Amino acid sequence: MKTNQLLKVGICMAFSTLVLSACTKNNQSADSATTPTTSTDAISADVLKKISDMGFSTTDVHKRGDDYLVEGDILLTPENFSEEVTSPTLRIAETEQYRTNNLVKKLPRTISISISNLPTVYKTATVNAINRYNALNLTLHFKFVSSGGNIQVIGFNEGPSDGFITLGSSGFPTSAGNPYNQIMMNTNSQAYGTSPNVGYLSSVVEHEIGHCIGLRHTDYFNRAFSCGGTASNEGSAGIGAVHIPGTPSSGDATSFMLACSNGGDRSYNTNDKIALRYLY
């Protein structure tokens, strides 16, 4: 998930002193473990072509270990690159909830989530996100564990790029039906401020868990809906963008799975709950 730095500052100044703390700009790095990133300039033309062929934008791509961060918060894995692309460009639709071809299998199932080397507020936010999912009484149940979770939340430190800053990132379920195993949360002070708001953090973790269990961005067809700027379609990327029955074909500006954050604590709306309960 990304946030627009200019939009974020505007929200802070106009509406909330509380959110203002999450907009403070500070050149000092957060006191936590970080994961290095690689800019688009250092990524091979072959990899960029594969990303483009999958239907994703090649603007501002970052390498994270063996994976590649695209579209702000989506991690493409070697498995994704090996999957056959059958439809690189999707139709332009209205705002509906979408899922990937792969979902978590072997239901009912409990998925454990752990956190490593991050400040306490990130742990609190992760527990909050877990509780929000469990309150829906899905066939997927989540639990917090001290280490070695099926999904591990870790930190990285990365400042703004082109007016946006990445708040968190994750990937999609494997073809074997397991959730994506990692959520990366930005510890840079320009992401959440020097005193992060726990509700804001909770909503980002909640969003990234959504990707881990197979949800696409609600506005995958036009990221400008929540991010502003030029209209762009994320494409099917070989992983699918399957409409979830029962979700609307009209604008849905409050979905927790929109590509960019509004700077606040955005949790499930009615349509998000319909989508999650249909899948799980």
User: Band of the pLDDT at 150, cuts 50, 70, 90?
Assistant: very high
Q: Which helix (H) or strand (E) holds 92?
A: none
The pTM of the full predicted model, rounded to 2 decimals, is 0.72
What does pLDDT average to over the chain? 74
Q: Where are the domains of the chain?
A: 2-16+30-279
- Using alpha carbons, list the distances in angstroms from residue 8 to 2, 19, 203, 227, 253: 11, 9, 15, 11, 16
> In the structure, what pLDDT confidence band is assigned to residue 143 with cuts at 50, 70 and 90?
very high
C-alpha to C-alpha distances, 241 to 100, 141, 169, 179, nearest whole angstrom = 5, 24, 18, 17
85 vs 150, residue with greater confidence = 150
Give the pLDDT score at 203.
95
Q: Are the C-beta atoms of residues 185 and 34 closer than 8 Å to each other? A: no
What percent of the chain stands above pLDDT 70?
64
Q: Alpha-carbon distance 81 to 77, whole Å?
A: 7
Q: What's the CATH architecture for 2-16+30-279?
A: 3-Layer(aba) Sandwich (3.40)
**Distance in angstroms (rounded) separating the CA atoms of residues 184 and 166:** 10
Residues of 159-194 as b/e, b for ≥16 C-beta within 10 angstroms?
A: ebbeebbbbbbbbbbbeeebbbebbbbbbbbbbbbe
For 243, phi then psi, to 5°, come to -65, 135
Is the N-terminal amide bond of 108 cis, ω within 30° of 0?
Answer: yes
**71-113 pLDDT, tens digit each:** 677 788 888 777 655 433 333 334 445 445 678 999 999 999 9
Q: What is the pLDDT of residue 75?
A: 84
Closest CA to 77 of 211, 172, 154: 172
Give residue-wise pLDDT tens across range 208-244. 999 999 887 775 555 555 566 554 444 444 454 555 5
Comparison of pLDDT for 190 and 32, the residue scoring more: 190
The CB density around residue 104, as the number of other CB atoms within 10 Å, is 21
Predicted confidence band of residue 161 (pLDDT cuts 50, 70, 90): confident
How much is the pLDDT for 39? 52
The answer to whether residues 279 and 103 touch, using CB atoms and an 8 Å cutoff, is yes
pLDDT score recorded for residue 55: 60
* Cα–Cα distance, 147 to 236 (Å, whole number): 34
From residue 181, alpha-carbon distances to 38, 105, 158, 171 in Å are 21, 14, 21, 8
